[in-house]
């Protein structure tokens, strides 16, 4: 999936939708999101923007009284978004590993370092076994 840049408000709404884990309408968002001070109109604007960017999509119509409300579901997963954001800012798996390893060494946590070494040795053995099988 291509990188989808989100504004702070869009990211805030996406976080809420990811936490809910189900399709919601603007009215449902307003009712469920207790600590949010957005107006219904502003919420609809953010929904429209997220839909245009391809982060969410129309899911179904829901009847509420005499009216129908459109429900939306996320297309962009939390993992995809934060992975894209990290890569966009130059963070790689290698860099994250280096930082975590350095933090372990700084803390002096011998047990965590021993566990990491065993895990890495296991990964190296697996890699070598696959490499030998390929020959």
What is the domain-level CATH number for residue 42? Answer: 1.10.10.10
Same domain for 37 and 99? Answer: no
Domain membership flag for residue 1: no
Same domain for 65 and 37? Answer: yes
Between vectors from CA 8 to CA 98 and to CA 78, what angle results, nearest 5°?
55
| 10-60 pLDDT per residue, tens | 999 999 999 999 999 999 999 999 888 899 999 999 999 999 999 999 999
Give the structural domain span for 47: 8-81
Burial of 21 (0-12, 13-18, 19+ CB in 10 A): exposed
Same domain for 75 and 107? Answer: no
pTM of the prediction? Answer: 0.67
Neighbours of 24 (CB within 10 A): 25
How many distinct structural domains can be found in the chain? 2
Same domain for 109 and 45? Answer: no
Q: Which of 59-63, 70-74, 91-95 has the lowest mean pLDDT?
A: 91-95
Domain membership flag for residue 3: no
Please identify, among 81, 101, 125, the residue that sits at the C-terminal boundary of a domain: 81
Same domain for 107 and 48? Answer: no
Same domain for 48 and 98? Answer: no
């Amino acid at each position: 999936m291509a990188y989808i840049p989100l504004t702070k408000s869009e990211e805030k709404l996406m976080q809420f939708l990811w936490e809910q884990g189900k399709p919601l309408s603007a009215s449902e968002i307003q009712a469920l999101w207790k600590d949010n001070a957005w107006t219904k109109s502003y919420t609809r604007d953010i929904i429209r923007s997220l839909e245009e960017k391809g982060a969410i999509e129309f899911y179904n119509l829901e009847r509420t009284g005499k009216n129908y409300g459109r429900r939306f579901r996320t297309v962009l997963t939390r993992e995809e978004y934060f992975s894209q954001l990290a890569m966009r800012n130059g963070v790689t798996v290698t860099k994250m590993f280096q930082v975590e390893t350095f933090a372990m060494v700084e803390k002096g946590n011998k047990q965590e370092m021993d566990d990491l070494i065993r895990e890495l040795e296991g990964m190296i053995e697996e890699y070598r076994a696959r490499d030998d099988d390929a020959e």
